[in-house]
Structure 1
Amino acid sequence: MKILNSFESYIDTYNPWKNTYALSRSLLGFSTLLVLLFNSADILFSYSANNVTCENVYIPTAFCFANKYSISFEVIRYLMIFILALVVIGWRPRYTGFFHWYICYSIQTSALTIDGGEQIATVLSFLLIPVTLLDSRQNHWKIKDINYESFTKKIVLFYLVTIIKIQVFVIYLNAALERLKNKEWAEGTAIYYFFSDPVFGLPDYQLNLLNPLLESNYIVVITWLVTIFELFLAASIISNIRIKRIALILGIIFHIGIIISIGIVSFGLIMISALIIYLHPIQKNINMNWCSPLFKYISVKRKRNFKRLGGESVKFLTKLFHNI
């Protein structure tokens, strides 16, 4: 009975409308936005432009419809860029949540994708749809200090966010366990082969610099540390706040390292987005005082331009970082 009362008290004060959810969702949208900004339709469909049909998919993608009705893929790409820009700035999550998922789904299903990030983005954006439908705010950067919504809505939100956390847990656990089944990962040589790969590998200057390390016995330790670290991230779901904070920081550094080394930017941003909602307390704001000087400068120098953007995203950028 005491446990039930404690849980009821927790739900009664449950408030996910903080910048943790907002930052995670914006990063998720930004990752896909970058893919569309820097890749034309000719690149995204370089191997499948003549095979995009609605016959082999349960839910037709935007590109399926475009192909069927002879609409330029570039027009669809620019429309997606516009919608994702709205997602990033946080405008009306109740209206943009579904379209965010549909864009990710369309790219994952119809376009040329090779790093797996788009699949994770599709899953996470899908799981966020019911959360966004319950988000009545004009902008997801508009932080609510107190959640005055009904108890039923709060408990639904709690379980929805918990499902997302479990999904991220499964991603890291599965990644670690699948590696153990792979001969190269089990032997400790996978990092060597991966970094030497002509598609995913390191740039030549990095490869030449790290080659002595890659060809040494230490590579076995490094390879195994990756698997152990992913198991650690998975296990962090049941850890205390202090361990979660350490895991979050190390996880972000880990994925930034992947971005810098092998250049899969969208994948790195997607996983950082997942880590934020997975490990940071959803009811607490993320302290970002370190970027306060930058946004103060932008606020002064570009105030008029920012006003044109409108909405609570501007207030977030100019005030949040030094008020939290």
Structure 2
Amino acid sequence: MSRPPAPPRPSGSPLRAAGRPPVRYPAAGPLLGVGRSLLALAQLLTLLFTSDAELFPGGPRCGGGRLLTLWCLGPPGGAPGARRVLAVLGLLLVISGWLPRWTAVLHWYLTFGLTGTMAVADAGDMAARIGTLLLLPLLLGDPRRWIWTGRLRPPVPAWRGAGRAALLLLRVQVLIVYAQAAGSKLLDPLWRDGTALYYWLHSHYWGLAPALRPLLDPVLANGWSVRALTWTVIVLELGIAGCMLAPGRPRRAAVPAAVLLHGGIALCMGLPGFALTMVGLVLLACADIGPLGPRWRPMHIRCNRAAD
């Protein structure tokens, strides 16, 4: 007696056969690649335009876990130029987007080493250190050769879950940073009455560049315009924090807000590295978290149908 013919196998992947979209890696969109490249670019600019005497007065701070960083390997003070060249080449590799699985480790190592051993690390440096650390579980499961590739094979489910958790933590970090920044301003009477920006931009240390004073001094001399600018800063910070609670496309409204806010800071106060770092973190926080999808149910349905 001949055996009955086997039922036809569904074409394509089991997920498509079950009428579900294929599983995509959480960060397959372009925001991830651009965001991490901006973080690396900020560190690169620091190395290219800041001397060792300014970064490490008295030498790098080496102690504890910092002994394994690039700036503390080998004899103290030995070959600082070679270390700088290696760091620059490593950051250029990160910016290129090649092999994100492995360059993520290199990115965190270089960022941690630089921010941990330099004399004074600002808030942007600390945020970059946390951001590159959270990129590790997100990218270690990324099988792409180039981070700019949109389509890819999904990693194992454990890495997909780790990537989702890392993006959520990045979002929480950005929310806390901007909510705290806006909240501290609201507690300051100068920010509440709208005059704080006037004093900040006329500060000897943080103030406007001499080339911009003829353009912006008339704006800062007007009470209504300076109040509008001061409150615009607070509104933008609150808006970025609020966007972190929104889903999908509404969350991406944080990107132009961050570009406007930090672009103005970089232009007026001369802080391009800080601006690139914060815009990069906002881009990372706005990266898509795709559907992870059920893992075994489509196969289960297919086996049951074959048994019937």
| TM interval, short-chain normalised | 0.7 to 0.9
Deviation digits for residues 172-215 of structure 1 (CA, Å, limit 9, x no counterpart): 11111122233432343221121112232211231232223223
Q: Which amino acid aligns with 1:65?
A: L
Structure 2 residue matching 1:129: 3-state secondary structure: helix
CA separation of 1:133 and 1:190: change in aligned 2, threshold 3 A: same
Determine if contact 1:41/1:77 at 8 Å carries over to the other structure. Answer: no
Identity rate, percent: 27
Q: Which amino acid aligns with 1:63?
A: W
1:11 is displaced (CA, Å) by 9.9
Structure 2 residue matching 1:134: 3-state secondary structure: coil
* Alignment-derived partner of residue 295 in structure 2: none
Determine if contact 1:15/1:154 at 8 Å carries over to the other structure. Answer: yes
> 1:212 and 2:218 equivalent?
yes
Structure 1 residue matching 2:148: 3-state secondary structure: coil
1:102 is displaced (CA, Å) by 2.2
Determine if contact 1:31/1:265 at 8 Å carries over to the other structure. Answer: yes
What is the rounded CA distance, in whole Å, between the counterparts of 2:290 and 2:269 in structure 1? 34
* Alignment-derived partner of residue 300 in structure 1: none
Larger radius of gyration: 2
* Alignment-derived partner of residue 88 in structure 1: 95
What is the rounded CA distance, in whole Å, between the counterparts of 1:197 and 1:260 in structure 2? 15
What is the rounded CA distance, in whole Å, between the counterparts of 1:127 and 1:100 in structure 2? 11
CA separation of 1:18 and 1:79: change in aligned 2, threshold 3 A: same
Q: Which amino acid aligns with 2:200?
A: F
1:104 is displaced (CA, Å) by 1.6
> 1:132 and 2:139 equivalent?
yes
* Alignment-derived partner of residue 203 in structure 2: 197
> 1:238 and 2:245 equivalent?
yes
CA separation of 1:15 and 1:280: change in aligned 2, threshold 3 A: closer
1:244 is displaced (CA, Å) by 2.6
The TM-score normalised by the length of structure 1 is 0.74
Q: Which amino acid aligns with 1:64?
A: C
Note the residue ranges of structure 1 that are not aligned, 5 or more in a row: 1-8, 285-324
What is the rounded CA distance, in whole Å, between the counterparts of 2:66 and 2:283 in structure 1? 30
Q: Which amino acid aligns with 1:32?
A: Q
CA separation of 1:240 and 1:133: change in aligned 2, threshold 3 A: closer
Match of 1:49 among 48, 51, 58: 58
1:25 is displaced (CA, Å) by 1.1
Determine if contact 1:20/1:282 at 8 Å carries over to the other structure. Answer: no
Specify which structure has the higher proportion of helix. 1
Deviation digits for residues 105-140 of structure 1 (CA, Å, limit 9, x no counterpart): 222222244653222111111111222222232222
CA separation of 1:126 and 1:86: change in aligned 2, threshold 3 A: same
What is the rounded CA distance, in whole Å, between the counterparts of 2:178 and 2:150 in structure 1? 30
* Alignment-derived partner of residue 254 in structure 1: 261
CA separation of 1:138 and 1:245: change in aligned 2, threshold 3 A: closer
Please give the residue correspondences for 1:103-118 in structure 2 after superposition, counting only pairs within 5 Å: 103-113=110-120, 115-118=122-125
Q: Which amino acid aligns with 2:177?
A: I
What is the rounded CA distance, in whole Å, between the counterparts of 1:10 and 1:172 in structure 2? 35
* Alignment-derived partner of residue 156 in structure 1: 162
Determine if contact 2:243/2:252 at 8 Å carries over to the other structure. Answer: no
Determine if contact 2:137/2:162 at 8 Å carries over to the other structure. Answer: no
Match of 2:274 among 267, 270, 276: 267
What is the rounded CA distance, in whole Å, between the counterparts of 2:210 and 2:270 in structure 1? 13
> 1:119 and 2:121 equivalent?
no
Structure 1 residue matching 2:161: 3-state secondary structure: helix
* Alignment-derived partner of residue 24 in structure 1: 35
Note the residue ranges of structure 2 that are not aligned, 5 or more in a row: 1-19, 292-308
What is the rounded CA distance, in whole Å, between the counterparts of 1:35 and 1:181 in structure 2? 32
1:86 is displaced (CA, Å) by 0.6
Deviation digits for residues 14-58 of structure 1 (CA, Å, limit 9, x no counterpart): 44233221111111111111111222323322xx224x3424x55
Determine if contact 2:44/2:91 at 8 Å carries over to the other structure. Answer: yes
Determine if contact 1:92/1:139 at 8 Å carries over to the other structure. Answer: yes
1:280 is displaced (CA, Å) by 4.6
What is the rounded CA distance, in whole Å, between the counterparts of 1:140 and 1:247 in structure 2? 22
Number of positions where the alignment pairs a residue of Structure 1 with one of Structure 2: 270
* Alignment-derived partner of residue 191 in structure 2: 185
1:277 is displaced (CA, Å) by 1.9
* Alignment-derived partner of residue 169 in structure 1: 175
